[in-house]
Amino acid sequence: MITKNWWLAVAEIVDAFRVIPRIMLFGYGIFYYSYIMHVTAWYFTLPNPNVEATAFITGTITALGGMLTIFSNTYIKTGRSWGDYKGDL
């Protein structure tokens, strides 16, 4: 039978293995990789790339890379927040 204590145990396991932050970080990494691939493919198909197109590519890739750094830094610095709570298990 599924009880409140069972759900608390499952939540503590998910928190201990940090499943949600790992999924979010992996998803953002996939998004970043696919964005770079599509944007660079678009840039290389331009017949005569100008300064504005180059600035757009450089700016967006740099901004998204900085956000990836922020997300990964947040993942590294945060951790388990349950403490030593044992509950009624």
CA distances from 39 to 10, 26, 46, 57, 72 (A): 41, 20, 11, 7, 23
Q: What is the pTM of this model?
A: 0.69
Check residue 50 and report its DSSP letter. Answer: -
Question: Which amino acid is located at 53 in the chain?
Answer: A
Q: Tell me, what DSSP letter sits at residue 18?
A: T
| 68 Cα distance to chain centroid | 7
Residue 4 in domain: no
Give per-residue pLDDT as tens, 13-65: 887 788 888 888 899 889 999 999 999 999 999 999 999 999 999 999 999 98
6 vs 78: which has the higher pLDDT: 6
Q: What are phi and psi of 25, to 5 degrees?
A: -65, -40
Q: What is the pLDDT of residues 33-46, one digit of tens each?
A: 999 999 999 999 99
Domain that includes residue 56, residue range: 18-77
Is 38 a domain residue? yes
Number of domains the chain is built from: 1
User: Is 51 within the bounds of a domain?
Assistant: yes
